Amino acid sequence: MEIGGLDSDGRTFRNAEEMWTEELGHGDPHKKSLWYNKGINYWQGVEATVDGVLGGYGHVNAPDIKFASTGADCGSGIGRVTKNLLIRYFNEVDLLEPVSHFLESARVNLAPENLMVSELHKAANFYCVPLQEFTPDAERYDIIWVQWCIGHLADDDFIAFFKRAKLGLKPGGLFVLKENIARAGFVLDKEDKSITRSDSYFKELFNQCGLYIYKMKDQKEFPDELFAVKMYALTTEMPRQGNRSRPKRTTNRPAIIR
Ligand code: SAH
Protein backbone atom coordinates (compact mmCIF):
# COMPACT_ATOMS: atom_id res chain seq x y z
CA MET A 1 0.00 0.00 0.00
CA GLU A 2 1.53 3.30 -1.07
CA ILE A 3 -0.08 5.54 1.50
CA GLY A 4 2.35 7.76 3.34
CA GLY A 5 1.76 8.85 6.92
CA LEU A 6 2.93 10.73 9.96
CA ASP A 7 3.60 10.07 13.59
CA SER A 8 2.60 12.22 16.56
CA ASP A 9 6.05 13.89 16.53
CA GLY A 10 5.53 14.96 12.94
CA ARG A 11 7.85 12.42 11.40
CA THR A 12 6.82 11.14 8.00
CA PHE A 13 6.70 7.58 6.69
CA ARG A 14 6.76 6.75 3.02
CA ASN A 15 4.14 4.07 3.48
CA ALA A 16 2.34 2.05 6.12
CA GLU A 17 4.63 -0.91 5.69
CA GLU A 18 7.65 1.17 6.70
CA MET A 19 5.84 2.27 9.85
CA TRP A 20 4.60 -1.22 10.73
CA THR A 21 8.04 -2.74 10.25
CA GLU A 22 9.51 -0.19 12.60
CA GLU A 23 6.79 -0.65 15.18
CA LEU A 24 6.34 -4.42 15.00
CA GLY A 25 9.46 -5.76 13.26
CA HIS A 26 8.94 -8.62 10.86
CA GLY A 27 6.33 -10.67 12.69
CA ASP A 28 8.13 -10.30 16.04
CA PRO A 29 5.65 -11.48 18.72
CA HIS A 30 7.54 -9.63 21.46
CA LYS A 31 7.29 -6.31 19.64
CA LYS A 32 3.64 -6.92 18.97
CA SER A 33 2.82 -7.59 22.60
CA LEU A 34 4.73 -4.43 23.53
CA TRP A 35 2.55 -2.52 21.09
CA TYR A 36 -0.65 -3.84 22.66
CA ASN A 37 0.56 -3.50 26.23
CA LYS A 38 1.47 0.09 25.61
CA GLY A 39 -2.03 0.73 24.27
CA ILE A 40 -3.68 -0.78 27.32
CA ASN A 41 -1.21 0.91 29.70
CA TYR A 42 -2.04 4.26 28.17
CA TRP A 43 -5.74 3.81 28.88
CA GLN A 44 -5.11 2.33 32.33
CA GLY A 45 -3.59 5.66 33.25
CA VAL A 46 -6.65 7.59 32.12
CA GLU A 47 -9.43 8.58 34.52
CA ALA A 48 -12.74 6.78 33.95
CA THR A 49 -14.71 9.85 32.86
CA VAL A 50 -16.15 11.20 29.62
CA ASP A 51 -13.28 13.69 29.50
CA GLY A 52 -10.88 10.80 30.00
CA VAL A 53 -12.14 8.53 27.24
CA LEU A 54 -12.40 11.50 24.90
CA GLY A 55 -8.79 12.54 25.46
CA GLY A 56 -9.67 15.83 27.17
CA TYR A 57 -12.29 16.67 24.59
CA GLY A 58 -15.29 15.97 26.80
CA HIS A 59 -17.11 18.89 25.25
CA VAL A 60 -17.45 17.04 21.95
CA ASN A 61 -19.60 14.42 23.70
CA ALA A 62 -22.90 16.13 22.93
CA PRO A 63 -22.28 16.67 19.20
CA ASP A 64 -20.80 13.16 18.98
CA ILE A 65 -23.93 11.54 20.37
CA LYS A 66 -26.24 14.06 18.83
CA PHE A 67 -25.62 14.02 15.12
CA ALA A 68 -28.84 15.82 14.41
CA SER A 69 -30.63 12.83 13.08
CA THR A 70 -34.31 12.98 12.37
CA GLY A 71 -36.85 10.28 11.65
CA ALA A 72 -40.47 10.22 10.58
CA ASP A 73 -42.94 7.59 11.80
CA CYS A 74 -45.71 7.37 9.20
CA GLY A 75 -49.08 6.00 10.21
CA SER A 76 -47.63 5.96 13.70
CA GLY A 77 -50.77 4.86 15.53
CA ILE A 78 -50.11 5.29 19.24
CA GLY A 79 -46.36 5.78 18.69
CA ARG A 80 -45.34 2.17 19.30
CA VAL A 81 -42.52 2.09 16.73
CA THR A 82 -41.19 5.47 17.79
CA LYS A 83 -41.22 4.58 21.45
CA ASN A 84 -39.58 1.17 21.10
CA LEU A 85 -37.21 1.87 18.26
CA LEU A 86 -36.92 5.20 16.47
CA ILE A 87 -36.52 7.46 19.50
CA ARG A 88 -33.39 5.53 20.50
CA TYR A 89 -31.67 6.22 17.21
CA PHE A 90 -32.93 9.65 16.22
CA ASN A 91 -32.73 12.91 18.09
CA GLU A 92 -36.04 14.00 16.73
CA VAL A 93 -38.92 11.93 15.49
CA ASP A 94 -42.00 13.37 13.80
CA LEU A 95 -45.17 11.32 13.95
CA LEU A 96 -47.96 11.40 11.45
CA GLU A 97 -51.22 9.70 12.00
CA PRO A 98 -54.69 10.54 10.66
CA VAL A 99 -56.69 9.17 13.60
CA SER A 100 -56.67 11.83 16.30
CA HIS A 101 -57.27 9.60 19.32
CA PHE A 102 -54.26 7.50 18.34
CA LEU A 103 -52.13 10.60 17.92
CA GLU A 104 -53.24 11.94 21.31
CA SER A 105 -52.28 8.65 22.89
CA ALA A 106 -48.90 8.86 21.12
CA ARG A 107 -48.39 12.31 22.64
CA VAL A 108 -48.86 10.86 26.10
CA ASN A 109 -46.73 7.77 25.45
CA LEU A 110 -43.93 9.96 24.14
CA ALA A 111 -44.08 12.72 26.72
CA PRO A 112 -40.52 13.29 28.01
CA GLU A 113 -41.39 11.93 31.46
CA ASN A 114 -42.51 8.64 29.89
CA LEU A 115 -39.39 8.16 27.78
CA MET A 116 -36.32 6.26 28.86
CA VAL A 117 -33.90 8.11 26.59
CA SER A 118 -31.62 11.09 27.06
CA GLU A 119 -33.03 14.58 26.85
CA LEU A 120 -31.29 14.88 23.47
CA HIS A 121 -34.01 12.66 22.00
CA LYS A 122 -37.58 13.72 21.58
CA ALA A 123 -40.80 13.31 19.64
CA ALA A 124 -40.80 16.66 17.92
CA ASN A 125 -43.99 17.06 15.85
CA PHE A 126 -47.33 15.30 15.86
CA TYR A 127 -49.12 15.73 12.55
CA CYS A 128 -52.72 14.61 12.25
CA VAL A 129 -52.67 13.81 8.55
CA PRO A 130 -53.00 10.78 6.26
CA LEU A 131 -50.07 9.80 4.05
CA GLN A 132 -51.86 10.75 0.84
CA GLU A 133 -51.98 14.34 2.11
CA PHE A 134 -48.54 14.60 3.69
CA THR A 135 -45.69 16.60 2.18
CA PRO A 136 -42.57 16.69 4.35
CA ASP A 137 -40.27 19.67 4.70
CA ALA A 138 -37.37 19.43 2.26
CA GLU A 139 -34.41 17.32 3.40
CA ARG A 140 -35.62 16.96 6.97
CA TYR A 141 -35.36 13.21 7.48
CA ASP A 142 -32.61 10.61 7.66
CA ILE A 143 -35.22 7.89 7.76
CA ILE A 144 -38.89 7.84 6.87
CA TRP A 145 -40.39 4.78 8.51
CA VAL A 146 -43.64 3.42 7.10
CA GLN A 147 -45.01 0.45 9.01
CA TRP A 148 -48.34 -1.28 8.62
CA CYS A 149 -50.23 1.58 7.02
CA ILE A 150 -49.27 1.76 3.32
CA GLY A 151 -51.97 -0.83 2.54
CA HIS A 152 -54.50 1.96 3.01
CA LEU A 153 -53.12 3.86 0.03
CA ALA A 154 -54.38 3.38 -3.50
CA ASP A 155 -51.58 2.72 -6.00
CA ASP A 156 -51.57 6.25 -7.43
CA ASP A 157 -51.39 7.78 -3.94
CA PHE A 158 -48.71 5.27 -2.94
CA ILE A 159 -46.56 6.46 -5.84
CA ALA A 160 -47.34 10.13 -5.32
CA PHE A 161 -46.59 9.84 -1.58
CA PHE A 162 -43.15 8.33 -2.08
CA LYS A 163 -42.30 10.80 -4.82
CA ARG A 164 -43.15 13.73 -2.53
CA ALA A 165 -41.56 12.13 0.49
CA LYS A 166 -38.27 11.58 -1.37
CA LEU A 167 -37.72 15.32 -1.26
CA GLY A 168 -38.08 15.12 2.51
CA LEU A 169 -35.05 12.83 2.76
CA LYS A 170 -31.59 14.16 3.45
CA PRO A 171 -28.98 13.09 0.92
CA GLY A 172 -28.22 9.45 1.68
CA GLY A 173 -31.46 9.10 3.66
CA LEU A 174 -33.75 6.14 3.26
CA PHE A 175 -37.24 4.80 3.59
CA VAL A 176 -38.00 1.76 5.66
CA LEU A 177 -41.21 0.06 4.65
CA LYS A 178 -42.36 -2.77 6.89
CA GLU A 179 -45.47 -4.51 5.66
CA ASN A 180 -47.53 -7.64 5.42
CA ILE A 181 -46.90 -9.54 2.22
CA ALA A 182 -49.46 -11.52 0.24
CA ARG A 183 -48.28 -14.81 -1.25
CA ALA A 184 -49.28 -13.64 -4.71
CA GLY A 185 -51.17 -10.72 -6.18
CA PHE A 186 -53.04 -8.99 -3.37
CA VAL A 187 -55.66 -9.50 -0.70
CA LEU A 188 -58.31 -6.83 -0.24
CA ASP A 189 -59.73 -6.23 3.23
CA LYS A 190 -63.20 -4.86 2.67
CA GLU A 191 -63.72 -3.95 6.30
CA ASP A 192 -60.88 -1.49 6.80
CA LYS A 193 -60.32 -0.71 3.12
CA SER A 194 -56.75 -1.78 2.82
CA ILE A 195 -54.88 -4.14 0.57
CA THR A 196 -52.04 -6.51 1.31
CA ARG A 197 -49.69 -6.56 -1.67
CA SER A 198 -47.32 -9.28 -2.78
CA ASP A 199 -43.57 -8.77 -2.95
CA SER A 200 -43.69 -8.41 -6.73
CA TYR A 201 -46.58 -5.94 -6.52
CA PHE A 202 -44.45 -3.83 -4.15
CA LYS A 203 -41.43 -4.09 -6.42
CA GLU A 204 -43.44 -2.87 -9.38
CA LEU A 205 -44.61 0.14 -7.34
CA PHE A 206 -41.07 0.89 -6.06
CA ASN A 207 -40.01 0.94 -9.66
CA GLN A 208 -42.67 3.47 -10.53
CA CYS A 209 -41.65 5.59 -7.54
CA GLY A 210 -38.02 5.61 -8.71
CA LEU A 211 -36.92 3.80 -5.56
CA TYR A 212 -34.27 1.09 -5.22
CA ILE A 213 -34.12 -1.72 -2.73
CA TYR A 214 -31.01 -1.25 -0.64
CA LYS A 215 -31.76 -4.16 1.69
CA MET A 216 -34.61 -6.55 2.38
CA LYS A 217 -35.38 -8.62 5.44
CA ASP A 218 -38.02 -11.16 6.42
CA GLN A 219 -39.70 -10.93 9.80
CA LYS A 220 -38.92 -13.93 11.98
CA GLU A 221 -40.74 -15.43 14.97
CA PHE A 222 -44.26 -14.44 13.91
CA PRO A 223 -47.16 -16.87 14.36
CA ASP A 224 -47.85 -18.99 11.26
CA GLU A 225 -51.41 -17.74 10.83
CA LEU A 226 -50.23 -14.20 10.15
CA PHE A 227 -49.16 -12.78 6.81
CA ALA A 228 -45.45 -12.91 6.12
CA VAL A 229 -43.83 -9.57 6.90
CA LYS A 230 -40.99 -7.97 5.02
CA MET A 231 -38.89 -4.94 5.66
CA TYR A 232 -37.58 -3.00 2.67
CA ALA A 233 -34.90 -0.33 2.98
CA LEU A 234 -35.36 1.91 -0.05
CA THR A 235 -33.06 4.52 -1.49
CA THR A 236 -33.49 7.17 -4.13
CA GLU A 237 -30.18 6.34 -5.74
CA MET A 238 -29.22 3.04 -7.28
CA PRO A 239 -27.07 1.24 -4.67
CA ARG A 240 -23.49 0.81 -5.81
CA GLN A 241 -22.66 -2.77 -6.69
CA GLY A 242 -19.71 -4.72 -5.37
CA ASN A 243 -17.07 -3.21 -3.14
CA ARG A 244 -18.86 -0.91 -0.74
CA SER A 245 -15.97 -0.41 1.64
CA ARG A 246 -14.92 3.15 2.21
CA PRO A 247 -11.67 4.29 3.70
CA LYS A 248 -12.14 4.48 7.43
CA ARG A 249 -10.48 6.73 9.93
CA THR A 250 -8.65 4.57 12.38
CA THR A 251 -8.76 6.55 15.59
CA ASN A 252 -10.82 5.60 18.59
CA ARG A 253 -11.18 8.99 20.19
CA PRO A 254 -11.37 12.56 18.96
CA ALA A 255 -7.94 13.63 17.77
CA ILE A 256 -6.47 16.73 16.26
CA ILE A 257 -5.76 16.43 12.54
CA ARG A 258 -2.01 16.60 11.95
N1 SAH B 1 -47.42 1.86 12.52
C2 SAH B 1 -48.09 1.65 13.79
C3 SAH B 1 -49.61 1.54 13.65
C4 SAH B 1 -50.10 0.41 12.80
S5 SAH B 1 -51.89 0.30 12.78
C6 SAH B 1 -47.52 0.43 14.46
O7 SAH B 1 -46.85 -0.37 13.81
O8 SAH B 1 -47.75 0.26 15.66
C9 SAH B 1 -52.28 1.10 11.22
C10 SAH B 1 -52.29 2.62 11.32
O11 SAH B 1 -52.47 3.17 10.01
C12 SAH B 1 -53.41 3.15 12.17
O13 SAH B 1 -52.87 4.00 13.15
C14 SAH B 1 -54.28 3.91 11.19
O15 SAH B 1 -54.94 5.01 11.76
C16 SAH B 1 -53.26 4.33 10.17
N17 SAH B 1 -53.80 4.73 8.88
C18 SAH B 1 -54.98 4.39 8.31
N19 SAH B 1 -55.12 4.99 7.11
C20 SAH B 1 -54.02 5.75 6.92
C21 SAH B 1 -53.59 6.63 5.89
N22 SAH B 1 -54.33 6.85 4.81
N23 SAH B 1 -52.38 7.26 6.05
C24 SAH B 1 -51.63 7.04 7.14
N25 SAH B 1 -51.99 6.21 8.14
C26 SAH B 1 -53.17 5.57 8.03
Beta 169-181 vs 141-147: how paired, if at all? parallel
Task: Compute the half-sphere exposure of residue 223: CA atoms within 13 Å on the CB side of its CA.
Answer: 2
Query: Does residue 258 lie in a domain region?
Result: no
Q: What pLDDT score does 211 carry?
A: 98
Distances (CA, A) of 194 to 155, 188, 189: 11, 6, 5
CA dist 174 and 86 (Å) reads 14
For 161, the domain range is 5-235
Question: Under a CB-based contact definition with an 8 Å cutoff, are residues 160 and 132 in contact?
Answer: yes
Q: Identify the residue whose C-alpha is closest to ligand 1 atom 25.
A: 75
Does the residue 249 lie in any domain?
A: no
Ligand 1 centroid distance, CA of 111 (Å): 20
More confident residue, 65 or 213: 213
Q: Is residue 240 part of a domain?
A: no
Average pLDDT, the chain: 90
Rounded to an integer, the average pLDDT of 16-26 is 94
How close is the Cα of 77 to the center of ligand 1, in Å?
Answer: 5
207 contacts 193 by C-beta, under 8 angstroms = no
Which mutation among 74, 105, 133, 152 tests ligand 1's pocket best, with the greatest number of atoms within 8 A of CB?
152
Q: What is the mean pLDDT of residues 24-49?
A: 93
Do the domain assignments include residue 106?
Answer: yes
Ligand 1 centroid–CA 76 distance in Å is 6
Query: Is 255 a member of any domain?
Result: no
CATH number for the domain that contains residue 158: 3.40.50.150
Comparison of pLDDT for 15 and 247, the residue scoring more: 15
What's the CA-to-centroid distance between 101 and ligand 1, angstroms?
12
User: In this structure, which amino acid lies at residue 100?
Assistant: S
- Give the pLDDT confidence score for residue 60 in this predicted structure: 66
Q: Which of 149, 150, 175, 227 to mutate to test the pocket of ligand 1 (most atoms within 8 A of CB)?
A: 149
Distance CA 79, CA 102 (A): 8
* 247 within a domain of the structure (yes/no): no
3-state secondary structure of 2: coil
Residue 246 lies in a domain: no
Count how many domains the chain has: 1
* 198, β-bridge pairs: 182
Confidence tier at 252 by pLDDT (50, 70, 90): confident
pLDDT at 44 over 60: yes
Give the model's pLDDT for residue 66. 55
Asked if residue 250 belongs to a domain, the reply is no
